[in-house]
Amino acid sequence: MTNSDNRIVDTGTEQLLCSVSNHVATITLNNPAKRNALSDQLTPALRQALLDIEADADVRCVVIRGAGNAFCAGGDVSGMGDNLSANSALSGGSEKPSVDAMTRQLQHAQETVSLRLYELNKPTVAVVTGPAAGAGMSLALACDLRIATEKAFITTAFGAIGLSGDFGGSWYLSKLVGPAKAKELYFTSRRVMAEEAEKLGIFNMVVSEYQLEAVVKKTTEQIAASAPIALRYMKENINRAQTVDLKTAMTHEAQRMIQSMHTEDHKAAAKAFLNKQQPTFKGQ
């Protein structure tokens, strides 16, 4: 990746598109014929794209979206059921994959895609314009924010095909809506439409399809205009707060606060504030 105001990033497959503009990277799951289901091409490409974007100092905010009328339908069902050996993503290419081998493959996929997205050192925004189902729901929930259209919905979906769920969805959903509501949504696999999802706190905002691009642009560019180091520390603080007690969270906050005070961005912003000017952050 090289620095440029507007650029296309080669992902190695047409099933995943990536571009960067004004410090915002946009990753598009691009397999609309299968509602952008995770595949043997798309998943490794997404894994690598997240690594590349995390290392790219020019990128300050990341958008994940789907092509066509879906965000992501989850796993490709054609590789499931009796056709397990055909699903090389889990079987490792083996004709008779063991349960242990497939479990390890799935753990690797989860940690290098969903967990990596959740822990990415830059703010992430999922743009949901249709279904986010199963593992696709998990990917949307792994992002920091979710902007949706009125036609968007999420569904756990797993129960409908006799599966229990993966990619961290049970953890993400429980944190957002509480365990009782999460259990309801997993047990029933019902669709949570945009209005309800916004009320539950699953979607941060719901807008019309005509407003969508303007709202996404305004939100992401506002994030990208902020101090990158401070943003990274904010995300770390809030993520860590999910699993530690208050005193531990405050200790971590104090450490990050002092570290951010020593950045050039803070010094420049303090000076700009006194002079009633808008600061320009450089990530230093």
pLDDT of residue 28: 97
Residues 196 and 258 in one domain: no
Residues 89 and 153 in one domain: yes
Q: Name the percent of the chain lying above pLDDT 70.
A: 91
Q: Which range of residues forms the domain containing residue 80?
A: 6-224
Which of 224, 240, 256 is the last residue before a domain boundary?
A: 224
Residues 180 and 207 in one domain: yes
Residues 93 and 127 in one domain: yes
Residues 168 and 258 in one domain: no
pLDDT of residue 191: 96
pTM of full prediction above 0.85:
yes
Dist CA 82 CA 103 (whole Å): 17
Residue 281 belongs to a domain: no
Residues 56 and 187 in one domain: yes
pLDDT of residue 279: 80
Residue 282 belongs to a domain: no
**If you average pLDDT over residues 163-178, what whole number do you get?**
95
Residues 235 and 203 in one domain: no
Residues 89 and 170 in one domain: yes
Residues 203 and 249 in one domain: no
**If you average pLDDT over residues 243-262, what whole number do you get?**
94
pLDDT of residue 78: 58
On average, the pLDDT of the chain sits at 90
Residue 63 belongs to a domain: yes
pLDDT of residue 84: 43
pLDDT of residue 45: 95
Residue 283 belongs to a domain: no
pLDDT of residue 2: 42
**If you average pLDDT over residues 172-200, what whole number do you get?**
97
Residue 39 belongs to a domain: yes
Domain count, the chain: 2
| pLDDT score of 86 more than 80 | no
**CATH number reported for the structural domain that contains residue 150 in this entry:** 3.90.226.10
Residue 56 belongs to a domain: yes
pLDDT of residue 4: 47
Residue 192 belongs to a domain: yes
What's the pLDDT band for 96 if we cut at 50, 70, 90? low
Residues 214 and 253 in one domain: no
**If you average pLDDT over residues 43-53, what whole number do you get?**
95
Nearest Cα residue to 72 out of 8, 141, 3: 141
**If you average pLDDT over residues 107-124, what whole number do you get?**
95
What's the pLDDT band for 88 if we cut at 50, 70, 90? very low
| pLDDT score of 102 more than 60 | yes
Dist CA 200 CA 117 (whole Å): 22
pLDDT of residue 95: 63
| pLDDT score of 3 more than 50 | no
Residues 219 and 237 in one domain: no
| pLDDT score of 27 more than 90 | yes
Which of 205, 224, 243 is the last residue before a domain boundary?
A: 224
**CATH number reported for the structural domain that contains residue 250 in this entry:** 1.10.12.10
Residue 280 belongs to a domain: no
Residues 133 and 256 in one domain: no
pLDDT of residue 275: 78
